[in-house]
Amino acid sequence: MERNYKIQSGKVVVEIDEDGNIIKLFDREKKIDFVGGGKAHSGRGLKIWVKEGKLGRDPQGKLSHKFSNVTFEKPIIMVDGSSVHMEKTKETDTLKIDYSIEDDRFKILVELQNTGKRKLKQLEFFFSWDVPPGTNILIPGGKRYLNYVIPPFGRCVTKNLPFKKGFLYIIRKDGNGIKIEFSDLVLYVIYHRGHMCMVGGYTDGKMVEKDKSLKELISMSFCSRKNVYSPVAKKEFIFPEISKDPWFEKRFIHLILYGGRVDLGQFFTILENLRKIGYNGVILGIGKGMKYESYPQVAEKWSYTKNEMKEIRNYIKNLGMEIIPEFPTLGHQNDTNLIKIDRSIVEDPNNPFVYCTSNPKTYQVIFSLLSEIIEIFNPQYFHLTHDEVQHWFSEKRMGICEKCKRKKLWEIYSEDVNRLHNFLKSQNIRMTLWGDMLLDHRKFKICNCNGTIGNIYKAIDLIPKDVLIFDWHYHYYKSYPSLRYFRNKGFEVFPGMSFFKPKAIASFSRYSKKIGINKGAIETTWAIPTVEELPLEPIFIASQIFQNPDYNLGKLKSQAYQFAYYLYNKINR
């Protein structure tokens, strides 16, 4: 049973779990709980990471640091009145964390000691506070503060802001808040998506000599600032006309149902409005989100019944929108729950991310589940993913069990694609895949090219040419050479757009137009379909850019904000 440790003063109460994360922080006088309960690793509280890196090249070919988490043992913990001291170890590294309270100020001193050889190290500190709509995050920017206001609708934002000495403020709409001061960071970072908002930063990667250390001091206290929230003026939203001659013929929105249950009424209202702004197709992620008859253990308690799936199907078709069902195959098996059926059908039961292609039962299960989805949707296309099976910077994930480790990774990948392709083709269904595993980052120098480890990218010459490739890239570049590459290899290709960078959506669409790719495009969301979770502004921008890649992006951003508020108010009125 896990144990928590509490320290308190006359004004502040803090609870720390046995991993060293803050899970409760509140002002005893004003009763303001800034964490909202729960564990830090489930999205609330303070999480401290240590990362170890090595010099390498980033996807753009620039020299960069490549960091991975260091996993420490459970700490030794000593409690003394209003302080807690923790020490964690990992081989030659010792992480010391001292938490202390002085009346209304809470301090955290972090020290990473290195007794081994010279290594590149980095400390990261991220706070995931309970921040409702209207909360202001104020970051020192020199002469004035940079302000980010949490809106009530879904927005996916990542902001990297240069570190400036001074307090970082998190202030709620009622004027109550906390201020945080770091001693030695490089960047502040804000990540906001739906209900989750993370604020923090990290130290520069430093070569830490033997018997040297990295240190960071964090100070926090409660504060108050009245009338800080000034919402942007909400103009009346007017739907733009759908182009009679759009550049992309098929304009898909990607939505997932395996991330949690949503109210169907809200879902249908969202779909109706997505149709009104120009989308004419839905890629619908199903995975563990449906109750299957053949293997009921795949489903969660909240999963949709088959009748509910038919209701969703009928609504989308009545809107005149095409449906491509999606079921994650090969990788991302955390979204399918295959391990609940049989532990032998995943490569690593301790990390059930990839299924085993050498076990005949794997395909017995997969084909049964796919057949149930096909029975409901009768699709022309079926999206079987195959993305991020490896990352170019990650440890080996596939080809690790006794049966698979004798094979080349590109053979494992291509054999799986061919087997699934043949299954779908026998039912006159065309297979679609994400394209990242078929790209070598050393060649393309852009993000989302993951086929480097084990040379998986070689599989491109071993899979059928009628597979439709969804080539996804989420960051801004002037060109996206992978589009030409897939086309020159004989594949039809649709660009898959960013869910958080409008500039990347515009650039990718314009490059597609430049080289004559116009059959289809996908706006990804990686969110369940609710207004609180969907990145509504990029969704709107993509809907217009898909029709005319030359739209003025500045004007679209203003319209996108009004659309987001319109849809939020329509559902919550």
pLDDT tens for each residue of 286-332:
999 999 999 999 999 999 999 999 999 999 999 999 999 999 999 99
For the segment 104-145, what is each residue's pLDDT rounded down to a tens digit?
889 999 999 999 888 888 999 988 877 788 888 988 887 788
Cα–Cα–Cα angle for 550, 555, 558, nearest 5°? Answer: 140
Is 492 within a domain? Answer: yes
Same domain (yes/no): 48, 173? yes
H or E segment at 424? helix 409-425
| Residues 525, 538: Cα–Cα separation, whole Å | 9
In the prediction, which pLDDT does 478 show?
Answer: 94
Residue 92: CB atoms within 10 A of its CB come to: 12
> Is it the case that residue 19 has pLDDT exceeding 90?
no
Is 237 within a domain? Answer: no
Packing angle of the helix pair 502-514, 553-572 (nearest 10 deg): 120
CB 199 within 8 A of CB 169: no
User: Given pLDDT bands bounded at 50, 70 and 90, which one contains residue 21?
Assistant: confident
- Last residue within a domain, chosen from 224, 239, 271: 224
In the prediction, which pLDDT does 74 show?
Answer: 83
Q: Which long-range contacts (CB under 8 A, 24 or more apart) does 390-395 make?
A: 390/437, 390/450, 390/451, 390/452, 390/453, 390/454, 390/456, 391/450, 391/453, 392/59, 392/441, 392/449, 392/450, 392/451, 392/452, 392/453, 393/56, 393/66, 393/68, 394/453
| Residues 190, 198: Cα–Cα separation, whole Å | 6
Helices (H), 531-552: 536-545
Same domain (yes/no): 215, 108? yes
Which residue range is the domain that position 158 belongs to? Answer: 5-224
H or E segment at 557? helix 553-572
In the prediction, which pLDDT does 194 show?
Answer: 76
> Is it the case that residue 558 has pLDDT exceeding 60?
yes
Is 466 within a domain? Answer: yes
Check residues 316 and 39 and name the one with the higher pLDDT.
316
Same domain (yes/no): 338, 451? yes
| CATH number of the domain where residue 436 is located | 3.20.20.80
Same domain (yes/no): 531, 393? yes
Quick check: helix, strand or coil at residue 40?
helix
Is 236 within a domain? Answer: no
Same domain (yes/no): 312, 167? no
User: Given pLDDT bands bounded at 50, 70 and 90, which one contains residue 207?
Assistant: confident
In the prediction, which pLDDT does 231 show?
Answer: 56
Check residues 454 and 421 and name the one with the higher pLDDT.
421
Share of the chain above pLDDT 70, in %: 94
Domain count, the chain: 2
Of 66-75, 231-240, 295-304, the range with the highest mean pLDDT is 295-304
For the segment 504-552, what is each residue's pLDDT rounded down to a tens digit?
999 999 999 999 999 999 999 999 999 999 999 999 999 999 999 999 9
Same domain (yes/no): 296, 424? yes
Q: Looking at residues 161-179, what average pLDDT do you find? A: 87
H or E segment at 120? strand 119-128
In the prediction, which pLDDT does 102 show?
Answer: 86
Minimal CA–CA distance to 474: which of 525, 431, 527? Answer: 525
CB 353 within 8 A of CB 377: no
In the prediction, which pLDDT does 340 show?
Answer: 94
Same domain (yes/no): 173, 314? no
Same domain (yes/no): 177, 276? no
> Is it the case that residue 232 has pLDDT exceeding 70?
no
Is 157 within a domain? Answer: yes
Residue 390 CB burial class (10 angstroms; 0-12, 13-18, ≥19) = buried
Cα–Cα–Cα angle for 399, 401, 406, nearest 5°? Answer: 55
Same domain (yes/no): 212, 84? yes
Same domain (yes/no): 351, 498? yes
Is 480 within a domain? Answer: yes
Same domain (yes/no): 216, 310? no
In the prediction, which pLDDT does 203 show?
Answer: 87
Same domain (yes/no): 48, 101? yes
Quick check: helix, strand or coil at residue 519?
coil
User: Given pLDDT bands bounded at 50, 70 and 90, which one contains residue 57?
Assistant: low
Is 231 within a domain? Answer: no
Q: Looking at residues 79-88, what average pLDDT do you find? A: 89
> Is it the case that residue 358 has pLDDT exceeding 90?
yes
CB 320 within 8 A of CB 377: no
In the prediction, which pLDDT does 62 show?
Answer: 55
In the prediction, which pLDDT does 42 show?
Answer: 58
| CATH number of the domain where residue 123 is located | 2.70.98.10
> Is it the case that residue 487 has pLDDT exceeding 80?
yes
Is 243 within a domain? Answer: no
